Amino acid sequence: MFPQRLDSPLAYDIAKAMRDGFDRHYRLFRAESARAKHRFETADWHGQQRAQRERIEFYDLRVGEAVARLEKEFKAGDQPMDVWHQVKLHFIGLLVNHHQPELAETFFNSVTTKILHRAYFQNDFIFVRPAISTEYIEPRGAPTYRAYYPTPESLPGMIRSMLLDYRLQGRGYANLERDAGRVATAILGRFHQVKLRANFQLQVLSGLFYRNKGAYVVGKIINGFTELPFSLPILHDADNRFYVDAVLFGEDELQMLFSFARAYFMVDMEVPSAYVQFLRSLMPRKPRAEIYNALGLAKQGKTLFYRDFLSHLNYSSDKFRSAPGIKGMVMLVFDLPSFPYVFKVIRDHFPPQKETTREQIKSKYMLVKQHDRVGRMADTLEYSNVGFPLDRFEPGLIEEIKRFAPSQLEIGDRDGNGEMEVVLKHCYIERRMIPLNIYLQEAFDLLDQPEHAHRASKQLEHAVVEYGNAIKDMVAANIFPGDMLWKNFGVTRGGKVVFYDYDEIEYLTDCNFRKVPAPRTEEDEMSGEVWYAVGPKDVFPETFGPFLLGNPAVREAFMSHHADLLDAAFWQSHKERIQAGQMLDVFPYDEAQRFKHEGHAPYF
């Protein structure tokens, strides 16, 4: 029951301290995002990547500061529940005219759950459900998006004006007239059989989206009842002048740009919910949680994901089960068939060949979160003390967790409401994909059926080519996957191959790539044992073949497209390139989509 009156001055002071703590967080977050523009203008690529990594830590630092202040100034953990009821109500009042209310509510949850006992993790004390609407919040500064109303004849000039409105400083565009003309031609080409209506317009978000070496215009073209999402990647040429590299059209292209397997964008947003609403109009199939993640607001993404998950549990009846596929030696993996994610729990003990620890594994996952994932490494949501209804688990799965990860499992009525709950002390959640070994096995099974043989052959070649491309993209980003077995990669809904097993991942520059030494004697050549010294970071690429290429069809496809992955010189040359400070481009679109002109950036 909420209190009849707000009669605790202390409650208001606590609420205001939390609001001030959030405001400080978002002020710093936004300032770092805004500085991405200057880093892009000055081609400070390493600084851009460093800022992307460091910004991830901002949230936890500010939460820690807020908790410390509340305990020091208000002894918050000792206050009665009546005061905490009032704290939440005061906090709601403080958000009435706020421009990031949904983020502030999540910040309130993060602080409060570090102070209160889990029994109070309910909507009376924290925001299990949102309290403040985020619709129609108008920014005080630049509008969320700008609209342009061209005719076919004025379209090139309008696009030129649109690009200039972003006020990029530096050496300017290499050839703005050319770029505007190319973009206009591409747009009109998409509407060449359609009459342009009175409402024909371009709407573009006011902030550029910065990531690595690119800046992206994001918007949509409206014509009658048709809305076409589009994006313009802006890059630097060899003389550090700007140019538009391509035009990306349609929801699928935008999905690739905002993929869960790519690093987070930096974009200056006064009203993030308005950006999310606009982006959802471009990508209606993409959950809001993933859009918040892509914008660097990962904690809000986790909040929305968990709300969606709880709602799904209420409207489904299937049970959690061990995930299909080969069981891993480090992780227990389970899923809910009706829910498109998998849940991963670190085992308590590992076999002797896995020389690792729980903390080392967690550090590998954090490395991936902070690194440029180049579209090839799945992002993960990390949760602590997450609860599930016990009756939704298959008994065999509970027994498996008890056997292999008992330290991570609690079962009981923790909330005192009579409902038995499974609580996992630590788990990772990521998008479900088809394991690549299963995807290949499906192709193998169809090869012997004449009516399906052609399709199966195409599927097999696609899988092998994408697998090699995934490894090469990771190489470009200074990542050596470690365990390169097919089972550690998955196939996304869009057919991309993505890596998702991180316990042996290493920076490429930390590895020593070697050729296998020639045998010294005939006994060495016949021996089944390694006759040469192997250091802890030594890698012998030519030894990958026996583990990966046992199937003749797979071997033929692999050797046709990616034989260089078996050559130590390939790996060593990229290691040396990275050590020399070079940074290759791995863009979220194909080479064929790029405009052709001299001096554009190298494409890996």
Structure tokens at 38: 């200057």
Neighbours of 131 (CB within 10 A): 15
272-322 pLDDT tens trace: 999 999 999 999 999 999 999 999 999 999 999 999 999 999 999 999 999
* Residue found under tokens 């995930």: 323
pLDDT at 416: 67
Average the pLDDT over 114-120 and give the result.
Answer: 77
- Tell me how far apart the alpha carbons of residues 144 and 273 are, in angstroms, rounded to a whole number: 10
Average the pLDDT over 208-226 and give the result.
Answer: 96
Residue among 511, 244, 520, 497 at smallest CA distance from 378: 497
- Tell me how far apart the alpha carbons of residues 390 and 413 are, in angstroms, rounded to a whole number: 10
- Tell me how far apart the alpha carbons of residues 95 and 88 are, in angstroms, rounded to a whole number: 11
Pairing of the two strands 479-480 and 409-412: unpaired
- Tell me how far apart the alpha carbons of residues 240 and 574 are, in angstroms, rounded to a whole number: 23
Structure tokens at 178: 């050319």
- Helix, strand or coil for residue 309? helix
Q: Which amino acid is at 412?
A: G
Average pLDDT, whole number, for the chain?
92
The answer on pLDDT for 323 being more than 90 is yes
- How would residue 224 be classed by pLDDT, with cut points 50, 70 and 90? very high
Structure tokens at 340: 């498109």
Pairing of the two strands 321-322 and 331-335: antiparallel
pLDDT at 460: 95
The answer on pLDDT for 119 being more than 80 is no
pLDDT at 1: 57
Inter-axis angle of helices 101-112 and 58-74, to 10 degrees?
Answer: 60
Residue among 503, 439, 513 at smallest CA distance from 475: 513
Which H or E element spans position 240? Answer: none
Is the pLDDT higher at 219 or at 493? 219
Neighbours of 281 (CB within 10 A): 12
Question: First-to-last CA distance in the chain?
Answer: 60
200-228 b/e (C-beta count within 10 Å ≥ 16 → b): bbbbbbbbbbbbbbbbbbbbbbbbeeeeb
Average the pLDDT over 375-400 and give the result.
Answer: 94
The answer on pLDDT for 601 being more than 80 is no
pLDDT at 603: 43
pLDDT at 3: 63
Q: Are 122 and 128 in contact (CB under 8 A)?
A: yes
Q: Which amino acid is at 523?
A: E
Q: What whole-number percentage of the chain has pLDDT above 70?
A: 96
pLDDT at 25: 98
523-581 pLDDT tens trace: 766 666 776 778 889 999 999 998 899 999 999 999 999 999 999 999 999 999 999 99
The answer on pLDDT for 417 being more than 90 is no
pLDDT at 413: 79
Active site residue 379: yes
pLDDT at 415: 65
Q: Which amino acid is at 98?
A: H
429-451 pLDDT tens trace: 999 999 999 999 999 999 888 88
pLDDT at 352: 86
Average the pLDDT over 356-367 and give the result.
Answer: 94
**Which of 237, 335, 379, 503 is flagged as catalytic?**
379
The answer on pLDDT for 516 being more than 70 is yes
Residue among 382, 379, 399 at smallest CA distance from 390: 399
Residue among 57, 16, 10, 46 at smallest CA distance from 370: 57
Average the pLDDT over 19-34 and give the result.
Answer: 98
Residue 560 CA, distance from chain mean position: 31
Neighbours of 578 (CB within 10 A): 18
Residue among 192, 186, 183 at smallest CA distance from 159: 183
- How would residue 121 be classed by pLDDT, with cut points 50, 70 and 90? confident
In the 8-state DSSP scheme, what is residue 204? E
pLDDT at 604: 39
Task: Return the beta strands (E) in 279-435 as ranges.
Answer: 321-322, 331-335, 341-346, 381-389, 409-412, 421-431, 434-435
pLDDT at 65: 97
122-149 pLDDT tens trace: 777 889 999 999 999 999 988 999 999 9
Those residues with Cβ within 8 angstroms of residue 251's Cβ, 6 or more apart along the chain or in another chain: 229, 282, 283, 284, 285
